[in-house]
C-alpha cells in the first residue's frame, strides 16, 4: 500500500467549491450588470426622455449605495444564504413592479422610488462570491499557496465582472430591440429568482454564526473606517465613474455618427482586452507589489483617456479603448486584492460589498452626469468625464502610496 503524497492530498479552491460553482456565480451577477442600463432603456422608451432615464439610473445607484453595504453586513452576521434568499425574492418582485410602473400613468416620483428600491434590494452576489473564495483560500489552503491563489482567483473574479459588465448592456440591447423595452428588466427579475437562489443554496455559502462566534470573530465596525480601506473604496468608485462615463460618452460619440446602437459592441473592445489583462495579473512577478500596480495601471487608463480627447474617427476611438483596457482590468484586480488584505476579521462580505457598491454607484452617477453633459454641452465635453475619472483613480493611488508606506512586504499579495 503506497503513501499518498501531501501534494496530491492538499486541498484546492476548486475541490472546495466544485466545478459548477463558477457558472452559477457568473450568471447570478448578470442581473446586477443589466440593472443600470436596463432601467435607462426602460424609462427612455416608456416616458420618452433621456434625462429622466439617466436620473432613474442614478436612483438605482443611490439605492445600492445606501443598502448594499448593509446587505453585506447582514451576510457577515446572519450568513449569506438567508440574506441572498430574502433579497433575491424581494428584488425579483420589485424589478417586475418597476417595469409595470414605467408604462403606467403613475407620477414620476413613484418611478423614482421604485428605481431606488430596486437598487436597494439588489443581491450582492459578486462581492459575496469574492468573500467565499477569499475565505476558502485563507482557511483551507496551505500558507505558502495562499498569495498566488488569492491573486489568481481575484483576477478571475475581476475578469468575470468585466465580461458581465460588457455583455450585460449587449443583452439589454438585444432583449429591448427584439422583444420590448420591459424585457431586460423582466429578464433580470427571472435570472435573479433562479440563479441568485441557486447561488444562495450552494454549499459554499457561509453559515450564520452564533452570538458567541460573532463576538469572538467579528471585528468592530469602526475598523471599516480605516483610511487604508476607505481610499480603496475611493479607488473603486473612480473605476465605476470611468465605466459609466466611458459607455455614455461612447454612446454619444456613436450617435453623432448615426450608429448609437453599435456603442455596446465598440465598448467590448475595451472590455475584452480588460478581461484578458485582468487574468494576466496572476502572472506578474512578486516584486511588482500592489502598491506599485495601482498608480501604474491608473496611469495607463489616464493615457487612454488622453488619447480619447483627440479621437475624431472610429480607428482612433478603438485605439484609445484598447489602451484603457490594458489598465482598467488589472486595476480592478489590484483594488479587490487590497480590499481582501484590508478586510477586518469577520467582515469580508461587508468590505467586498462596499467595493461592489462603489463600482455600481460610480457607474450610475457618471452615466447620469455624462448623459446630461452630452445633451447640454456636446460629445466633446462628455469625453472629458472619463479623463476626470482617470485622474481620481491616479490621485487615490498616490494617496494609497503614502498610506501604505515603503515597508510593505514584497510579495504578490503584499501592499
Q: What's the CATH code of the domain at 129? A: 1.20.1250.20
- Predicted confidence at residue 406, as pLDDT, reads 60
Provide the number of structural domains found in the chain.
Answer: 1
- Predicted confidence at residue 340, as pLDDT, reads 74
Question: Which triple of cell numbers denotes residue 288?
Answer: 511588482
Contacts of 276 (CB under 8 A, 6+ apart): 159, 329
Does a structural domain hold residue 4?
Answer: no
Does a structural domain hold residue 385?
Answer: yes
Q: What is the mean pLDDT of each run of 10 residues along the chain (415 residues)?
A: 50 80 87 79 74 79 82 80 91 91 88 92 83 80 77 74 71 74 84 90 70 56 72 91 86 76 73 78 77 91 91 88 88 84 70 78 83 84 93 93 65 41
Question: Which triple of cell numbers denotes residue 2?
Answer: 503506497
Grouping H, G, I as helix, E, B as strand and the rest as coil, residue 95 is: helix
- Predicted confidence at residue 306, as pLDDT, reads 92
For 181-213, give the secondary structure using H, E and C.
CCHHHHHHHHHHHHHHHHHHHCCCCCCCCCHHH
Structural domain span for residue 250: 21-215+222-404
Does a structural domain hold residue 413?
Answer: no
User: pTM of the prediction?
Assistant: 0.73
Q: Could you give the CA distance from residue 189 to residue 176 in angstroms, rounded to a whole number? A: 15
* Listed residue (319, 173, 123, 332) closest to 242, CA to CA: 332
Q: Could you give the CA distance from residue 387 to residue 213 in angstroms, rounded to a whole number? A: 46
Cβ burial of 15 (10 Å; 0-12, 13-18, 19+) is exposed
Does a structural domain hold residue 293?
Answer: yes
Q: Which residue has the cell 452617477?
A: 365
CA 134 to chain CA mean position, Å:
17
Cβ burial of 252 (10 Å; 0-12, 13-18, 19+) is buried
Contacts of 33 (CB under 8 A, 6+ apart): 161, 164, 165, 167, 168, 169
Tell me how far apart the terminal alpha carbons of the chain are, to the nearest angstrom. 46
Q: Could you give the CA distance from residue 183 to residue 190 in angstroms, rounded to a whole number? A: 10
Q: Could you give the CA distance from residue 342 to residue 404 in angstroms, rounded to a whole number? A: 11
- Predicted confidence at residue 410, as pLDDT, reads 41
Helices (H) and strands (E) in the chain — how many of each?
19, 0
Does a structural domain hold residue 135?
Answer: yes
Does a structural domain hold residue 52?
Answer: yes
Q: Could you give the CA distance from residue 331 to residue 97 in angstroms, rounded to a whole number? A: 37
- Predicted confidence at residue 298, as pLDDT, reads 94
Does a structural domain hold residue 2?
Answer: no
- Predicted confidence at residue 303, as pLDDT, reads 94
Question: Which triple of cell numbers denotes residue 183?
Answer: 424585457
Q: Could you give the CA distance from residue 141 to residue 7 in angstroms, rounded to a whole number? A: 12
Amino acid at each position: 500500500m503506497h503513501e499518498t503524497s501531501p501534494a496530491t492530498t492538499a486541498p484546492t479552491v476548486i475541490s472546495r467549491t466544485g466545478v459548477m460553482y463558477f457558472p452559477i456565480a457568473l450568471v447570478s451577477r448578470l442581473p446586477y450588470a443589466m440593472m443600470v442600463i436596463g432601467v435607462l432603456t426602460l424609462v427612455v422608451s416608456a416616458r420618452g426622455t433621456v434625462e429622466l432615464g439617466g436620473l432613474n439610473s442614478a436612483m438605482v445607484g443611490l439605492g445600492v449605495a445606501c443598502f448594499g453595504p448593509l446587505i453585506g453586513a447582514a451576510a457577515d452576521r446572519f450568513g449569506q444564504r438567508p440574506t441572498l434568499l430574502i433579497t433575491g425574492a424581494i428584488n425579483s418582485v420589485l424589478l417586475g413592479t418597476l417595469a409595470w410602473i414605467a408604462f403606467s400613468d403613475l407620477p414620476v416620483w413613484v418611478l423614482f422610488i421604485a428605481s431606488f428600491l430596486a437598487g436597494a434590494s439588489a443581491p450582492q452576489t459578486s462581492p459575496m462570491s469574492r468573500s467565499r473564495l477569499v475565505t476558502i483560500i485563507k482557511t483551507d489552503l496551505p500558507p505558502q499557496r495562499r498569495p498566488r491563489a488569492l491573486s489568481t482567483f481575484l483576477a478571475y473574479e475581476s475578469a468575470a465582472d468585466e465580461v458581465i459588465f460588457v455583455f450585460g448592456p449587449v443583452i439589454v440591447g438585444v432583449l429591448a430591440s427584439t422583444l420590448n423595452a420591459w424585457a431586460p428588466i423582466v429578464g433580470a427579475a427571472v435570472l435573479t429568482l433562479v440563479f441568485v437562489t441557486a447561488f444562495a443554496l450552494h454549499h459554499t455559502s457561509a453559515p450564520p454564526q452564533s452570538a458567541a462566534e460573532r463576538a469572538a470573530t467579528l471585528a468592530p465596525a469602526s475598523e471599516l473606517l480605516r483610511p487604508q480601506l476607505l481610499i480603496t473604496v475611493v479607488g473603486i468608485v473612480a473605476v465605476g465613474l470611468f465605466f459609466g462615463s466611458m459607455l455614455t460618452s461612447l454612446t454619444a460619440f456613436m450617435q453623432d455618427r448615426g450608429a448609437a446602437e453599435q456603442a455596446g459592441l465598440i465598448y467590448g473592445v475595451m472590455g475584452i482586452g480588460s478581461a484578458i489583462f485582468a487574468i494576466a495579473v496572476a502572472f506578474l512577478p512578486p516584486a511588482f507589489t500592489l502598491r506599485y500596480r495601482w498608480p501604474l495601471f491608473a496611469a495607463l487608463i489616464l493615457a487612454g483617456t488622453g488619447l480619447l480627447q483627440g479621437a475624431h474617427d472610429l480607428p482612433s476611438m478603438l485605439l484609445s479603448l484598447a489602451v484603457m483596457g490594458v489598465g482598467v482590468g488589472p486595476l480592478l484586480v489590484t483594488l479587490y486584492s487590497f480590499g481582501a488584505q484590508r478586510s477586518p476579521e469577520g467582515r469580508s462580505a461587508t468590505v467586498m460589498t462596499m467595493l461592489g457598491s462603489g463600482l455600481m454607484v460610480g457607474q450610475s452617477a457618471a452615466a447620469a452626469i455624462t448623459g446630461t453633459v452630452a445633451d447640454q454641452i456636446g460629445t466633446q465635453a462628455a469625453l472629458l468625464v472619463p479623463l476626470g475619472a482617470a485622474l481620481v483613480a491616479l490621485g487615490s493611488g498616490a494617496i494609497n502610496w503614502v498610506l501604505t508606506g515603503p515597508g510593505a512586504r514584497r510579495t504578490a499579495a503584499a501592499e
